[in-house]
Structure 1
Amino acid sequence: MNVSLTKTLAHRGNDHAGHTRNFERTTGIAWHAPVPSGWVGGRRLSVVLPAHNVGYCLTMVLDALEAQTYGRRFEVIVVDDASTDATAKIIATHPAVTTGLRLPTRHGAATARNLGTYIAQGETVLYVDADMLLPPTTVADLAARATDHAVLTGFRHNLPHGAAWPDAGPDLTADHRVTWRPPVNTSLLYSGITLREPVDGRPLEHTRDFRDLGHGRAYYDWDLQRMVVTALLAVPRAAVLDVGGFDAEFGRIGWGMEDTYLGACLIAAGLLVIPLRQAVGFHLDPPDAAEQWQHKLGTWPATLARYRALLGEPARSGRRAALTASMNSLLHSCEVLR
C-alpha cells in the first residue's frame, strides 16, 4: 500500500540530542561553537550556488568563500541560470570558483542546484544562495558536523541593499526561524491559520532546536520541513540524489517551496534536521528587493498548491538514475564558464 508523504512524516522523529552529543564527545567542541581556524576534520564538501542576475553581490559572496578558514580544499560550483547581467563574467574569472556552468535558458534555482549536485564530488553538498555572504568559519563548522544522517541548517540575516553592515556581524535573531512576529487577524501564508492575539514567536528556542517538531508536529506556522532553507544548508549528496533532487516544477511555476519539499523528502528518508546557531550569513538584498518580493508573493499560491499535492503522494526514493539521466542531458547543453 502506498503511504502518503504526510503520513510518513508523522512517523519520523527529530530527537537529534544523541547525534550532537556524539560530536561533542568525539571532538571536544560544543555543537554551537565554531571549530578552530584551520580545522581539517569532517567530510569532503562541495559548495553549490545557483546564480541569476546577482552581479551586484556575487563577487563579495565568492570573496567570502575564498576567505574561509577551513583547512581542507573544497570545490565551489556556480550554475548561472541564464543571467543577463555580469554574473557569467564574474563566475568565469573569480579564483574561488572551481566549476562554472551557464544554462542556455532560465530553468530556476531548483534545476541549477540539481545540476550542481549532480557534478559535485563531495560527500556533503553545501547549498548557499548566490547573495549569501558567509563568515570565515562557516564552511568548516558545517563540514565538521556533516554525516549521512543529518540535514544541517544555517541561518540568514537579511541586509537591505546599501545598508551599513553591523560591526558585530550577522545576527542569529534576525532569522524568522529564531525571532518571529506574525501578523494578527490575517491568514498565515503557509498553514492558513489566523492568530487573534500577538505572538512572541521564538521557533528555534521553543522547539528545542527543532527537536519538538518531529512526528509531523507544528509550531504555529512552522513545521520541521519548513526549517529546511537552502540559503545555507548542508546535506548528504547521496540522500539528495536518491530522492531525485529538487522538484524542478516549483521553479517553472513560481517561487518557493522547493527547499521545503526537499526537506520533507529527506525527513521521510530518516534524516534529522539540526540547526547550527553559529552558522549565520548576511543575505544581501538586491536593489529592487521590494519589487522582487511582490512578484514572488504573487506566485506563492501556485507553488504552495503543488507542495500540498505532493504531500499526498508517497515519499520519493530510488530516483538517482532518473536524475542522473536528466542532468547528464542538461549538462551537454551548458556553456562551461570555468
Structure 2
Amino acid sequence: MTTSLQEELLQRNNLYTTSTRSWEAISGLAWHDVTPAHSRLASARAVSVVIPAHQVAYCLKAVLDALDGQYHRYEFEVIVIDDASCDTTAATASRHPAVSRLIRLPRRMGAATARNLGTFVSEGETVLYLDADMVLPPHVITDIAARATDTSVLVGFRHNLPHEVHRNTLDGRGMRPNLGADHRVVWRPPAGVHLPYTGLTLDTPLDGRPLDHTNDFLDLGYGRLYYDWDLPRMVVTALVAVPRAAVLDVGGFAAEFGRLGWGMEDTYLGACLIAAGLLVIPLRQAVGFHLDPRDARDQWQRKLATWPATLAHYRHLMQQPAPSGRTEPFSAAMTRLLNSCEVLR
C-alpha cells in the first residue's frame, strides 16, 4: 500500500538537538548567536542566494546592497530570476555588483518556477531562498554558511516595514529587525474567525507564541499542530536555507501553485523535505526587514482571495505519495526552460 505524504509526516520527528548541540560544542557559540565574520566554520558550506523578482524596482537595490554588505569572507553567489517584470527590475539587477547571474523568464511564470530555475543554475551546496523585498543584516550569510548541512532546513524570520516607514531609506537604517514581528513568533488571531488551514475557530482571543511554545519547532514533529500551525508552515521562503540536492530530489517547487494563486508552494516544499528526513531548525538571529510596497494592503487582499484554491491543491498533494528521485526530470525541465530564457548576466 502506498504511503501518502501526510502519512509520512506522521512518522517524522523534528529532534534536531543532537545537531545543534554538536555545533555549539565545536564552535563555542550558542546556536542563536550571531556568527563572527572570522569564524572558521563560515567556510563549511558554499551558499547560493536565489531571488525571484517581479516588479520590485522599488526595493531590489536595497536588498542587493544588503547582500553586497554581508561580512561573509567567502564567496557566495546571488542569482536573480526576473519573472518578466515590466518595470526596471532587470535593469537594477543587471548593474548591481552583488549579482552573479541574472536570467529573465520569457513570460510571467510565478515565484515557484523562478526559484526552481535559480536552484537549477546554482552551484552552492546550500540554497538560500530570499524574497526580493527582504533586506538582511550583515551577519546572516555567515550564520547560514556556518550551520547548514545536508539534512537541515534553516528558517529565518521577517519584520515587515510599512511603505510609509521605509520609503525614504528603503533599508531600515537606524532600526534593528524585531524577531517578534514575525507571525511564527508572536501570533494573535481573533476569536470567532475561521482559520482555513486547520478549520479551527477559537472561542477566545489568543496570545500565541508558536516559536516559544513549540520549543523552537522541536515539538512539531510527527505531524503535531500548534493551533493553526504545523511544521511545514514554518518553512517560509522569504528567508530559508535548504540543501540544493534535497530540493532537486523532490522535484523543486510545485509550479502549479503559482497558476492557481498565492501561497502554499513553500509549505508544500517544506512537507516534502520533512518527509525526506530533513529537520527544520530556526535561526532566531536571522531576521530581515520585509519592505512593503505602497499598495501592500491591496496586494494582501488579492492574495488572500486566491488562498482557498492553493490550499485545496495542497491538501490534494498531501494525499499523494511523497516525491523523491526527481532530480533527472527536474533538471531536464529546467534545461528546456533555460533555453527559452534571456540570460542577462
- Fold similarity call, TM over 0.5: yes
Distance (whole Å) between structure 2 residues aligned to residue 166 and residue 61 of structure 1: 12
Deviation of the 1:26 alpha carbon: 1.1
> After the TM superposition, which segments of 4 or more aligned residues of structure 1 sit over 6 Å from their partners?
none
Structure 2: where are the runs of 5+ without partners?
Answer: 167-171
Structure 2 residue 252 is matched with structure 1 residue 245: yes
Question: Aligned in 2, Cα 1:166/1:121: closer, same or farther, shift over 3 Å?
Answer: closer
Distance (whole Å) between structure 2 residues aligned to residue 238 and residue 232 of structure 1: 18
Partner-residue secondary structure (3-state), 2:241: strand
Look up the match of 2:336: 329
Moved more, 50-59 or 156-165: 156-165
Look up the match of 1:110: 112
Look up the match of 2:223: 216
Distance (whole Å) between structure 1 residues aligned to residue 82 and residue 38 of structure 2: 30
Deviation of the 1:167 alpha carbon: 3.5
Distance (whole Å) between structure 1 residues aligned to residue 173 and residue 32 of structure 2: 21
Pick the aligned partner of 1:225 from 220, 226, 232.
Answer: 232
Partner-residue secondary structure (3-state), 1:241: helix
Look up the match of 2:161: 159
Whichever residue aligns with residue 45 of structure 2, its letter is: R
Q: TM-score, normalised by structure 1?
A: 0.99
Q: Is the 8 A contact 1:254 1:303 kept in 2?
A: yes
Deviation of the 1:57 alpha carbon: 0.2
Structure 2 residue 103 is matched with structure 1 residue 96: no
Whichever residue aligns with residue 154 of structure 1, its letter is: G
Look up the match of 1:144: 146
Look up the match of 2:298: 291
Look up the match of 1:12: 12
Whichever residue aligns with residue 296 of structure 2, its letter is: A
Distance (whole Å) between structure 2 residues aligned to residue 192 and residue 135 of structure 1: 37
Whichever residue aligns with residue 96 of structure 2, its letter is: H
Distance (whole Å) between structure 2 residues aligned to residue 166 and residue 221 of structure 1: 34
Deviation of the 1:189 alpha carbon: 2.6
Distance (whole Å) between structure 1 residues aligned to residue 188 and residue 250 of structure 2: 34
Report matched runs for 1:1-338 at 5 Å: 1-39=1-39, 40-164=42-166, 165=172, 167-338=174-345
Q: TM-score, normalised by structure 2?
A: 0.97
Question: Aligned in 2, Cα 1:206/1:238: closer, same or farther, shift over 3 Å?
Answer: same
Distance (whole Å) between structure 1 residues aligned to residue 249 and residue 283 of structure 2: 25
Deviation of the 1:55 alpha carbon: 0.1
Look up the match of 2:169: none
Distance (whole Å) between structure 1 residues aligned to residue 283 and residue 132 of structure 2: 20
Structure 1: where are the runs of 5+ without partners?
Answer: none
RMSD: 0.9
Deviation of the 1:168 alpha carbon: 4.1
Partner-residue secondary structure (3-state), 2:93: helix
Whichever residue aligns with residue 13 of structure 1, its letter is: N
Distance (whole Å) between structure 2 residues aligned to residue 162 and residue 140 of structure 1: 31
Whichever residue aligns with residue 46 of structure 2, its letter is: R
Whichever residue aligns with residue 7 of structure 2, its letter is: K
Identity within the alignment, %: 64
Distance (whole Å) between structure 2 residues aligned to residue 90 and residue 263 of structure 1: 31
Deviation of the 1:190 alpha carbon: 1.4
Distance (whole Å) between structure 2 residues aligned to residue 304 and residue 247 of structure 1: 13
Whichever residue aligns with residue 116 of structure 2, its letter is: N
Q: Is the 8 A contact 1:38 1:69 kept in 2?
A: no
Partner-residue secondary structure (3-state), 2:194: coil
